[in-house]
Amino acid sequence: MASGFLARWFGRKRLPSELRYEDARRVLESHQQKAKRELAAREDAPPEALYYLACDDDPEVRGLVAANRSAPIQANELLQDDTSAEVRGELARKIARLMPDIPAVERSAIQDRLIGLLEKLAEDELPRVRAIVAEEIASCPTVPRAIARRLARDAEMAVCGPILEYSPLLSDEDLIEIIATSGAPGAAAAIARRACVSTSVSDAVVTSRDEDAIGELLSNKGARIREDTMERIIERAPGIKTWHKPLVVRPELSMRAVRRIATFVSRALIDELRRTHDLDRETADWLKARAQSRIENGEEEAEPAPRENIRDAYAAGRLGDEIVMEAATTSQRASVVLALSLLSGVPATKIEEVIAAQSGRGIAALCWKAGLSMRTALAIQTYIAHVPQPNLVLPREGIAYPMTQDEMRWHLQYFGADI
């Protein structure tokens, strides 16, 4: 009789719309996975049933409990160490989405336990789980500031990126420190995209000499940039075409800045400078004459040839730390590769391999072979190879190579650059 009842009951496609405790108990006793999955997803399921299902062998059942907003705190705490990343990910998504409903003060004991869960998930060993937390809480003002700061310093861009771009909990001091120390490629660019960027943070982005980040800063109408900081950008801008259009349309350019920009942008962008800015008569006439001169002299879009400058300096015996350092800090990758090849005798293809591998020790060994200083090696690691912060090879006592000559020869051999 009982088995016939259960057969008829589980022949239904769904649990009853009004779930009773007895219905839940029968599901747990039946050991039918399909029914347990349906029960695990029901927000009106009894807390005891959801707690029981949090220990189920089926990760899909546990994942449904993890995603269920009605699951008791005890079930959530069971699932925070689940062996399945998918289950932990579902739990992270749910807990993070509950955060806007948790006040910053006068929290209940249960709410404090939820925050403890979020802190644990924000430290999960898998970046995918931490990224879920970061994405969900990025704009939330009620999450504890310590969690936002921890995620903002994560080495994985998928984790730190949303926090750096959107979190209201990071101070300017936090952002400036992260720009200087983050090992996540793209961290400075994410900060440069924030809705509001202060002048001090803009200064830090420009000081980082991160080409992509400065491009994002120029394109961001919410970024405030000091006039002297803009002058520093303009000094580097002639050879970086991706900056030209955002420079031209930046609001509130000084007349001096407008004239300097007009010396290296295309004729079309000179015309846009004239249309975009409220210019005095003298500057407007000067720009018009500049554009006309471009037409008459056929100067349109002549590409700078920094590599030829490297060859000329090498031929004249002037190629050394000063020129290579300048090329590195202005992100002239091709020029740096050519300079290292000429000075070391190592083929450019081998040098590209070392740079692509982001090997701080390999780059240091190449610079040693090229007769360059360790400071130049650090600049190439930072601005050309973008070696992650933890892997940077730093000068010993501020100036010396930290490896022995035998160690450097070994790294050259490893990359086939011991020519």
Nearest to 388 by CA among 160, 58, 55: 160
Assess whether 251 and 340 both reside in one domain: no
**H or E segment and range at residue 169:** none
Assess whether 245 and 320 both reside in one domain: no
Assess whether 316 and 404 both reside in one domain: yes
Which residues share a beta bridge with 223?
197
Last residue of a domain, one of 249, 284, 301: 301
Give domain status of residue 369, yes or no: yes
Distance CA 339, CA 326 (A): 12
pLDDT at position 332 is 84
Confirm if 123 and 154 have CB atoms less than 8 A apart.
no
Which residues 6+ apart lie within 8 Å of 318 measured at CB?
none
With cut-offs at 50, 70 and 90, classify the pLDDT of residue 73.
very high
Distance CA 98, CA 79 (A): 16
Which residues 6+ apart lie within 8 Å of 302 measured at CB?
none
Assess whether 275 and 333 both reside in one domain: no
Nearest to 154 by CA among 187, 180, 132: 187
Averaged pLDDT for residues 350-359: 88
Q: Hey, how many other C-beta atoms are within 10 angstroms of the C-beta on 27?
A: 26
Confirm if 222 and 200 have CB atoms less than 8 A apart.
no
With cut-offs at 50, 70 and 90, classify the pLDDT of residue 301.
very low
pLDDT at position 390 is 79
303 has pLDDT over 60: no
Instruction: Provide the 3-class DSSP secondary structure of residue 400.
Output: strand
Assess whether 326 and 351 both reside in one domain: yes
DSSP assignment of 297-364, as one string? HT-TTPPP-HHHHHHHHHHTT--SHHHHHHHHHTT-HHHHHHHHHHHH---HHHHHHHHHTT-HHHHH
Q: Hey, how many other C-beta atoms are within 10 angstroms of the C-beta on 74?
A: 14
Angle, to 10 degrees, between the axis of helix 360-369 and the axis of helix 405-414?
A: 110
Assess whether 250 and 336 both reside in one domain: no
- Burial category of 120 from C-beta neighbours within 10 Å (exposed 0-12, middle 13-18, buried 19 and up): middle
Give domain status of residue 319, yes or no: yes
The predicted-structure confidence for 80-102, as pLDDT tens digits, reads as follows: 999 998 999 999 999 988 887 77
Q: How many domains are there within the chain?
A: 2
Last residue of a domain, one of 301, 331, 360: 301
Distance CA 63, CA 79 (A): 9
Give domain status of residue 64, yes or no: no
- Nearest-10 Cα torsion for 45, 46, 50, 56: -90
Give domain status of residue 84, yes or no: no
Assess whether 263 and 343 both reside in one domain: no
Residue type, 84: S
Residue numbers of the domain that contains 317: 309-414
Assess whether 407 and 320 both reside in one domain: yes
Give the torsion sign (CA, 36, 37, 40, 42): negative
Distance CA 160, CA 89 (A): 17
Residue given tokens 């490297």 in the structure block: 310
With cut-offs at 50, 70 and 90, classify the pLDDT of residue 74.
very high
Assess whether 270 and 313 both reside in one domain: no
Which residues share a beta bridge with 400?
396
pLDDT at position 299 is 53
Give domain status of residue 249, yes or no: yes
Give domain status of residue 164, yes or no: no
2 has pLDDT over 50: no
Assess whether 319 and 401 both reside in one domain: yes
Assess whether 340 and 394 both reside in one domain: yes
Residue type, 4: G
pLDDT at position 295 is 60
User: CA-based Rg of the chain, rounded to a whole angstrom?
Assistant: 30
Assess whether 280 and 314 both reside in one domain: no
Q: Is the pTM of this model over 0.85?
A: no
Last residue of a domain, one of 301, 333, 357: 301
DSSP annotation of 385: S
Give domain status of residue 370, yes or no: yes
189 has pLDDT over 60: yes
240 has pLDDT over 50: yes
Give domain status of residue 389, yes or no: yes
Residue 266: both structure tokens together: 């295309």
Nearest to 333 by CA among 392, 381, 394: 381
Average pLDDT, the chain: 86
Instruction: Provide the 3-class DSSP secondary structure of residue 223.
Output: strand
Distance CA 408, CA 411 (A): 5
The predicted-structure confidence for 116-137, as pLDDT tens digits, reads as follows: 999 999 999 998 899 999 999 9
